[in-house]
């Protein structure tokens, strides 16, 4: 590579990243000015943050039937007014504000708001007052012999019709009372189940909140740990810069250089092969020359004998033939020393060694890149260490937001111990409440049973044609049960109505003041209107308008805290999560970094010159004269001259010539053929290798030109890929971290579960069953009135009269 080469790479420095933790959010690494192509180098794989496993909470209502559909509308009629937001606000200020409050005006507003309940309570209170009074009056009348006290019944035509009418009225009334009583039992048990499940549901709700608060730091830590993984991967890549950057550069060069080096190795092998062929050919030529010299000596001896013989000497034809055999044309074989010298020069240059030197130079490119970039790598790693320290500071900043930790501490140190401590007593009170409810239900059932026994015994024991004074004991017992039922109704109805009054006023108001506005959102709106909640955002450190209703709505949909707390209003995530300055500094650092590779020439000038000379010699090598000479030598025939000597009577000389010819044919002719084949092969190889050398020289020149003109661009391109790969890791992490922060971290469904606990457990499982309980009891007490009237009237038709 004819010139020094420079490599462009990015500079890594410590960017001043502002990493903010707001509430429970972690803002970490960030984005570059441009995203590298994904085809260059993909980011490291990242796992999603682990979401905690929450305890499943009950989401069904405690009761849902006809009575449930009636109680709600009934309470809406009793209290049609919407949630008293202003009244709630004033009451809240009365407890939280130091400003004097006009309690008389506040009381008047309270009375005005609960007008419907006051009216209902007045009606129920009238029942409480009138029922015992009417019972006492009836008892006094009966004791005085009035109001059915006189045991007399006149038989009339309408007697049986009246009895049947009263019978069916009492039966239907008892059925209505029994239906209400069944609802009382059902809702008393439902209320008991709700009470039993409340500690469990509360514990599950608190457990979910605790898991939420505990999982949040873990999720944040996982994001921080992923940043460490990314930075460590980049650091390892920088340590392996020789292979990861030098390797691709080396491969780009090899695509042009390796074919040339392979050609050089092939040329070296072929040149050595030609050198071997030349040496073998020269040896054969030397042997041939020796054989020809011996043959010429023998022929010369024969010629001398013939020349001494005047008779033979004067034979012109024989003398001419012998003279031709002794000419120099047959004494000299081709000389290949010039071509041999050119080949030997190429062999001495040792192209294999030259190739290995060039190969070693290219193999050392990764080490050279690593050595030349060591300073830039160290500075970049120092920048990564600074960045790692900045990211680690995020965890410590998170500790500054301690309200979640305080919430967790409250749950673990105060709520759980108190819950466990009061649970046994709570279970005891729950059993007592259920027993009281069961007793109330039993009192109503007692009245129903009295009516049922009266109806049954009266029908069984009554004989219509029997005189009233002669009625059976069974019939009389049935009438007595009617009177007992009426008596129990008078005795217990007003007490039970007090129960209805208390529960109506308490649980009815809880429904209208808590459950109904909680479900339609009015309660949360009222909570948001208080002074303490109205600045919730500022209380949590956010300069945004955050409402409890909005938090509940978002958490109900299990949205992350980034959305729930509206952090996008106060935090510019794109601005904070920005490492463009970091990338720019990295680029500047590597722009100023030079990778100086040793100047490598693919072929030294003297080798190039020698190869060109060798190509010229190989191209100019012509074996025509040599093959012509060999062909001429192959045509020697002494037998014809020997035949002529036989004709002239010189049998000895003829015999000597025939012996020389036989030796020639057995020794020299094979040598000539071998030399001829070698010369032809050498001619072909010389022509081929001349073309190969010329092509090699052209390829060498093209490769050298490529290295000289494209090396800088190749290094720049590969360096850009290497840098984009490292940026790609950061961008991939940034995108993952942004996704985790804005979509995954702090999914707050457990927070909504705290509000749902009030609705599902408190309202659906406690308030609604209790409303159904007192409404069923009220239903029964209302039907106590016709039951008392018609039971007393019906009793006269079954009791045994004293007077007829």
DSSP codes of every residue in 481-504 = HHHHHHHHHHHHHHHHHHHHHHHH
At residue 245, does pLDDT exceed 90? no
Using a pLDDT cut of 90, give the percent of the chain over it: 11
Angle, CA 218 vertex, CA 216 and CA 220 arms, to 5°:
70
Phi-psi region of 148 (alpha: psi -120 to 50; beta: other; left: phi over 0): left
Tokens 């059993």 correspond to what residue? 431
In eight-state DSSP terms, residue 469 is: G
Look at 131-140, 268-277, 365-374 and tell me which has the smallest mean pLDDT: 268-277
pLDDT, average across residues 157-172:
87
Euclidean distance between CA atoms 269 and 343, whole angstroms = 12
Cα 21 to Cα 27, 143, 251, 564, 680, distances in angstroms: 6, 85, 47, 15, 89
Cα 278 to Cα 338, 351, 692, distances in angstroms: 11, 19, 19
What does the pLDDT read at residue 445? 94
152 bridge partner residues: 803
Look at 236-240, 614-618, 768-772 and tell me which has the smallest mean pLDDT: 614-618
Condensed to tens digits (0 to 9), the pLDDT of residues 522-535 reads 888 877 776 656 56
Using a pLDDT cut of 70, give the percent of the chain over it: 73
Burial 423-449 (b: 16+ CB within 10 A, else e): eeeeeeebeeebeebbebbebbbbbbb
Q: What confidence tier does 653 reach under pLDDT thresholds 50, 70, 90?
A: confident
Euclidean distance between CA atoms 665 and 637, whole angstroms = 9
The DSSP result for 569-637, as a single string, is: GT--HHHHSB-HHHHHHHHHHHHT----PPP--SS-HHHHHHHHHHHHHHHH---HHHHHHHHHHHT--
Q: What confidence tier does 5 reach under pLDDT thresholds 50, 70, 90?
A: very low
In terms of Cα–Cα distance, which of 50, 22, 18, 19 is closest to 561?
22
At residue 67, does pLDDT exceed 90? no
Mention every residue, 6+ apart, whose C-beta is less than 8 A from residue 290: none
What does the pLDDT read at residue 170? 92
Q: Look at the chain and count its residues.
A: 804
Euclidean distance between CA atoms 353 and 483, whole angstroms = 132
Euclidean distance between CA atoms 479 and 567, whole angstroms = 78
At residue 333, does pLDDT exceed 60? no
Q: What is the CA radius of gyration of the chain?
A: 60
Sign of CA dihedral 445, 446, 449, 454: negative
Q: What confidence tier does 100 reach under pLDDT thresholds 50, 70, 90?
A: low
Angle, CA 154 vertex, CA 149 and CA 155 arms, to 5°:
140
Look at 152-156, 441-445, 666-670 and tell me which has the smallest mean pLDDT: 152-156
Euclidean distance between CA atoms 166 and 632, whole angstroms = 161
In terms of Cα–Cα distance, which of 377, 366, 370 is closest to 590?
377
Angle, CA 226 vertex, CA 225 and CA 230 arms, to 5°:
120
At residue 719, does pLDDT exceed 70? yes
Burial 75-89 (b: 16+ CB within 10 A, else e): beebbeeebbbebbe
Look at 116-125, 324-333, 402-411, 737-746 and tell me which has the smallest mean pLDDT: 324-333
Tokens 């059925």 correspond to what residue? 175
At residue 321, does pLDDT exceed 70? no
Position with higher pLDDT, 624 vs 237 = 237
In terms of Cα–Cα distance, which of 665, 652, 642 is closest to 318?
642
Three-state secondary-structure class, residue 157 = coil
At residue 720, does pLDDT exceed 90? no
Q: Count the neighbouring beta carbons within 10 Å of the beta carbon of residue 469.
A: 13
The DSSP result for 163-220, as a single string, is: HHHHHHHHHHHHHHHHHHHHHHHHHHHHHHHHHHHHHHHHHHHHHHHHHHHHHHHHHH
What does the pLDDT read at residue 774? 92
pLDDT, average across residues 166-183:
93
What does the pLDDT read at residue 682? 72
At residue 378, does pLDDT exceed 90? no
As given in the structure block, the two tokens for residue 237 are 């890549």
Through-space distance between the first and last CA atoms of the chain, rounded to whole angstroms: 144
Most confident of the ranges 118-122, 268-272, 315-319: 118-122
Position with higher pLDDT, 89 vs 747 = 747
Q: Count the neighbouring beta carbons within 10 Å of the beta carbon of residue 281.
A: 23
Do 483 and 800 contact (CB within 8 A), yes or no? no
As given in the structure block, the two tokens for residue 666 are 């057995």
What does the pLDDT read at residue 803? 67
At residue 790, does pLDDT exceed 70? yes
Three-state secondary-structure class, residue 803 = strand
Condensed to tens digits (0 to 9), the pLDDT of residues 405-440 reads 777 788 888 888 888 888 888 888 889 999 999 999
Mean of all residue pLDDT scores within the chain: 75
pLDDT, average across residues 497-515:
90
């Amino acid at each position: 590579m004819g010139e020094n080469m420079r490599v462009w790479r990015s500079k890594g420095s410590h960017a001043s990243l502002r990493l903010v933790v707001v509430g429970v959010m972690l803002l970490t690494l960030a984005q570059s000015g441009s995203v590298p192509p994904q085809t260059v180098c993909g980011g490291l794989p990242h796992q999603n943050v682990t979401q905690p496993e929450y305890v499943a909470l009950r989401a069904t209502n405690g009761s849902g039937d006809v009575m449930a559909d009636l109680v709600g509308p009934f309470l809406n009629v009793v209290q049609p007014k919407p949630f008293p937001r202003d009244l709630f606000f004033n009451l809240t200020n009365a407890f939280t504000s130091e400003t004097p409050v006009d309690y008389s005006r506040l009381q008047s507003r309270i009375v005005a708001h609960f007008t419907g309940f006051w009216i209902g309570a007045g009606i129920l209170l009238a029942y409480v007052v009138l029922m015992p009074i009417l019972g006492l009056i009836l008892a006094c009348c009966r004791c005085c012999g009035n109001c059915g006290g006189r045991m007399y019944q006149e038989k009339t035509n309408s007697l049986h019709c009246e009895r049947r009418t009263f019978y069916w009225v009492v039966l239907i009334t008892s059925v209505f009372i029994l239906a209400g009583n069944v609802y009382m039992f059902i809702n008393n048990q439902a209320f008991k189940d709700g009470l039993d499940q409340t500690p469990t549901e509360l514990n599950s709700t608190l457990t979910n909140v605790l898991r939420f608060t505990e999982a949040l730091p873990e999720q944040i830590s996982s994001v921080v740990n992923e940043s460490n993984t990314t930075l460590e991967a980049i650091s390892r890549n920088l340590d392996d810069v020789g292979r990861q950057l030098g390797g691709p550069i080396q491969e780009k060069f090899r695509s042009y250089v390796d074919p040339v080096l392979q050609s050089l190795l092939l040329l070296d092998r072929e040149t050595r092969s030609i050198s071997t062929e030349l040496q073998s050919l020269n040896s054969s030529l030397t042997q041939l020359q020796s054989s020809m010299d011996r043959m010429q000596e023998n022929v010369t001896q024969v010629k001398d004998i013939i020349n001494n013989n005047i008779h033979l000497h004067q034979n012109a034809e024989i003398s001419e033939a012998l003279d031709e055999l002794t000419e120099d044309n047959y004494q000299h074989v081709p000389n290949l020393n010039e071509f041999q010298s050119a080949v030997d020069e190429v062999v001495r240059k040792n192209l294999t060694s030259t190739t290995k030197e060039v190969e070693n130079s290219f193999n050392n490119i990764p080490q050279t890149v690593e050595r030349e970039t060591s300073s830039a790598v160290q500075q970049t790693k120092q920048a990564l260490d600074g960045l790692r320290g900045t990211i680690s500071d995020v965890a410590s900043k998170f500790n500054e937001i301690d309200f979640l930790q305080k919430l967790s501490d409250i749950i673990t140190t105060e709520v759980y111990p108190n819950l466990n401590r009061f649970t046994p007593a709570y279970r005891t009170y729950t059993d007592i409440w259920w027993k009281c409810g069961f007793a109330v239900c039993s009192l109503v059932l007692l009245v129903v049973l009295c009516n049922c026994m009266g109806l049954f015994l009266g029908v069984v024991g009554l004989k219509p044609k029997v005189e009233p004074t002669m009625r059976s004991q069974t019939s009389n017992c049935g009438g007595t049960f009617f009177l007992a039922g009426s008596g129990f109704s008078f005795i217990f109805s007003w007490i039970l109505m007090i129960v209805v009054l208390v529960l109506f006023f308490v649980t009815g108001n809880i429904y209208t003041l808590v459950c109904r506005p909680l479900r339609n959102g009015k309660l949360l709106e009222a909570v948001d209107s208080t002074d303490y909640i109205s600045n919730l955002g500022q209380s949590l450190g956010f300069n945004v308008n955050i409402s409890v209703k909005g938090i509940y709505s978002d958490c109900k949909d299990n949205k992350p805290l980034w959305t729930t707390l509206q952090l996008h209003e106060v935090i510019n995530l794109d601005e904070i999560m920005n490492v463009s300055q970091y990338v720019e500094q990295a680029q500047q650092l590597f722009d100023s970094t030079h990778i100086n590779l040793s100047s490598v020439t693919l072929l030294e000038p003297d080798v190039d010159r020698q190869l060109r000379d060798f190509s010229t010699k190989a191209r100019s090598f012509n074996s025509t004269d040599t093959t012509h000479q060999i062909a001429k030598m192959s045509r020697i025939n002494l037998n014809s001259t020997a035949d002529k000597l036989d004709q002239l009577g010189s049998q000895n000389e003829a015999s000597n010539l025939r012996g020389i010819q036989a030796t020639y044919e057995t020794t020299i002719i094979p040598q000539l053929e071998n030399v001829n084949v070698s010369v032809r092969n050498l001619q072909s190889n010389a022509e081929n290798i001349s073309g190969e050398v010329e092509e090699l020289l052209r390829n060498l020149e093209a490769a050298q030109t490529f290295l000289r003109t494209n090396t800088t661009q190749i290094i720049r391109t590969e360096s850009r890929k290497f840098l984009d790969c490292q940026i790609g890791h950061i961008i991939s992490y940034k995108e993952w971290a942004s996704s985790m922060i804005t979509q995954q971290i702090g999914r707050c469904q457990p927070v909504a579960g705290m509000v749902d606990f009030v609705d599902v457990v408190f309202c659906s499982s406690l308030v609604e069953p209790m409303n159904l309980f007192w409404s069923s009891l009220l239903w029964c007490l209302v039907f106590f009135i016709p039951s008392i009237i018609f039971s007393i009237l019906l009793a006269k038709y079954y009791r045994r009269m004293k007077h007829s």
